[in-house]
Amino acid sequence: MAASEGVELVEVELHGRGPGAVLRIFLDKPGGISIEDCQTVSRQVGTLLDIEGVMTARYTLEVSSPGLDRKLIKPSDYDRFAGRKVKLLLRNSEGRRRSLQGLLIGWDDGKVRIEDESGATLAVAFDEIEKANLVPEFGKKLGPKPESEKAHSR
């Protein structure tokens, strides 16, 4: 449904059960999501959920953009947002957590590459990333950088 409207489904969250549950749908597209995009998808999803009887109790449907601190979920997100600042929360095989912040270089051979604040390039295995988000940069154009400006690690 989202693809037919020219938008990408980023994430779906369901909070709570029964009456008062909140179903959140996050959408994105190059250039950003408009209110009209959210309204269109909301109407379509709401109608489909009602017809199919998926949500059996009263619920709230929220459709929005993923925000300035958008989550990076799929490998393709790491190439799409190359050139942007990111924050990664990592968990290694022993369960230890640490965070990294830097300039996203991209995705290469199952690893996310970033340039840390000292200028060093780090390769992080995708399965070690517990959470990844864009870091809002005010005063800069939002969204992914044009292809001509992206840093490449290949």
Walk me through the domains of the chain, giving residue ranges and CATH numbers.
3-64 (3.30.300.70), 75-149 (2.30.30.520)
Q: Give the tens place of pLDDT for each residue, 30-40.
A: 888 999 999 99
pLDDT mean over 128-143: 82
Look up residue 39 and give its two tokens.
Answer: 């309204």
Contact 81, 91 (CB under 8 A): no
Contact 134, 85 (CB under 8 A): yes
Global confidence as pTM: 0.74
- What confidence category does residue 95 fall into, taking pLDDT thresholds of 50, 70 and 90? confident
Q: What's the rounded Cα separation, in Å, for the pair 88 and 25?
A: 23
In the predicted model, is pLDDT for residue 125 greater than 70? yes
Look up residue 60 and give its two tokens.
Answer: 């709230």
Alpha helices in 7-88 (DSSP H): 35-52, 75-80
